[in-house]
Amino acid sequence: MNWNSHEFIWLDWAVLAVGIIGVVWAVWHSIVKDKKSQQGEDSSAYLFGKGEPWYVIGMAIFAANIGSEHLVGLAGTGAKSGVGMAHWEMQGWMILILGWLFVPFYQLMINKMGKIITMPDFLKFRYTQRTGSWLSIITLVAYILTKVSVTALTGGIFFKYLWGLNFWVGAIGLILITAVFTVFGGMKGVMTLSTIQTPILIIGSFLVLFLGLATLGEGSIAGGWTEMMNYCNQLNNGYGTTHMFHWEEGDSMYQEYPGFVVFIGASIIGFWYWCTDQHIVQRVLGQVPGEDNAEVMKRARRGTIAAGFFKVLPCFMFLIPGMIAAALAQKGAFQMEETDAAFAIMVQQVLPAGIKGIVTIGFICALVASLAAFFNSCATLFTEDFYKPMKPGLTEDHYVLVGRVATVIVVILGFAWLPIMMGMDTLYNYLQGIQSLLAPAMVVVFACGILSKKVTPKAGEYTMIVGFLLGMLRLVTNVITDTGRATMDGAFWDYTAWFWQTNWLVFECWLLVFLFIFIYAVSFCTPAPTKEQIDAITFTSDFKKSIKESWGTFDIVGTLVVVGLCAAFYAYFW
């Protein structure tokens, strides 16, 4: 048997089959055990999970973030642009803000409302009913157009390069398997799958990293790193692709990632994604009935610290292997016709027989867990924010069924969008571009809603609407003008050039500034928030005591280490 075969052989397929059977059994066993302890269906457990340990929360947050866009897009952009996109991944420090700042506020809201909340719940309580409804609509549309479809599309690409599978077979198969898993597994299934796949994915990706470096360095990992850096430093007309910041206008990457603006723009998107997105926040909201606030916040915060550690890894798991693939292809080790093939080719070329099968199990689990998390979040938003208010007092079994039907609808909509996504050339940049248009409004509304007692309910509502409409208007101009690259003639285009031609990150920053000014300006002209709304963001002495009791030396040291690791990465690739 050829242990160094560059193709999947019978041993890889056997390992893959046994592994999948084992994963299915583990998830089924976990769900059955959980249902027995609950003595029936529970919509809160199905949608949120209940009281998972902090390390499970950390792995679930990490797994929810890692999807096929990382396996394909992040590795591909590493092969093409080096560490330019690392700003969006080196955000372990941003997850800490969720644990230290937002979790206490969310827990306070849970106490006030007497139930686990969704993000639209928070906005409905702090601002107006319409504000929460707008968030639900925006989030559902964003999940369908930029999450579910993107994951399915890039999943199909990954299986195409890894196994030579027809794109549609891979994409549709991934959606169908995930839909079945989500319908029957719920949040408990997602949490269990996350626990299984995270260590496999981390170990497997680092095997790709180290074996790839050893191959590039002809047996020396350090030599491989030096060769990779030397090769990447010659790219981009001599400016190199090993820098996270590009300062000179002559640098072609400056046009896409201008100076320090790239850090600010990535942080705006990160703040929205890690601190206010239902898809992520849902993982820290589960709790055991009757549990005290200090324990809930301790578990959630430590879960975010664990996730912060994990979030340091994707640059080494995917982006740098993409850079290695580009260097290996340049040396003639293999052919790489397009950069999106980078990671799948690395799995084929550098992993020995048997290990390919094990690593692929982790990748499949990652794809399913990530896509299932999106499906589950959509089901949660629909059930909790639309259906329950319209049909209160029904059985838990009924609400679980409604959540499952909502999942199926999301699957159908994902199928409908896939052919349109196929025509998009710059998928990863498009994904970040869409997020840059949605994030500023979310950041302003959530940050001001928590940190300011002067911002009025109508100001939050109008800011959400205006921010969304401005973002969508910019999206329309992006489509018409090829993201500002096309030459448009006429008085209208001349007068509005600042709007449609401005760099996407610069536009994002100015939109954020405008919305901050807008929300306070409207607050001067509209009725003040009620005492109940102010109380919802005001810590009592007892609650402050619970917050203080929820953290200790472990939390402080862990937080400092996460921040230090992020700072070290920035210092090395400055």
Specify the 3-state DSSP secondary structure of 258.
strand
**pLDDT in the model for residue 2:** 58
Assess contact for 334 and 88: CB atoms under 8 A: no
CA atoms within 13 A on the CB side of 285: 31
**pLDDT in the model for residue 532:** 87
Whether the per-residue pLDDT at 46 is higher than 50: the answer is: no
Specify the 3-state DSSP secondary structure of 246.
strand
Assess contact for 145 and 420: CB atoms under 8 A: no
Largest alpha-carbon pair distance within the chain?
A: 77
Whether the per-residue pLDDT at 185 is higher than 70: the answer is: no
- SS3 of 485-513: the string is CCCCCCHHHHHCHHHHHCCHHHHHHHHHH
Domain 51-423 maps to which CATH number in 1.10.10.10, 3.20.20.70, 1.20.1730.10, 3.40.50.720? 1.20.1730.10
463-496 pLDDT, tens digit per residue, is 999 999 999 888 878 777 766 666 667 776 667 7
Confidence of residue 24 (pLDDT cuts 50, 70, 90): confident
Produce one character per residue of 112-134: b if its CB has 16 or more CB atoms within 10 Å, e if not: eeeebbbbbbbbbbbbbebbbbb
Contacts of 386 (CB under 8 A, 6+ apart): 136
557-566 pLDDT, tens digit per residue, is 999 999 999 9
Record the pTM: 0.82
**pLDDT in the model for residue 274:** 92
422-462 pLDDT, tens digit per residue, is 655 556 666 777 888 889 999 999 999 988 999 999 999 99
> Which tokens belong to 1?
């048997």
Distance of CA 170 to CAs 156, 163, 204, 367, Å?
Answer: 4, 10, 21, 11
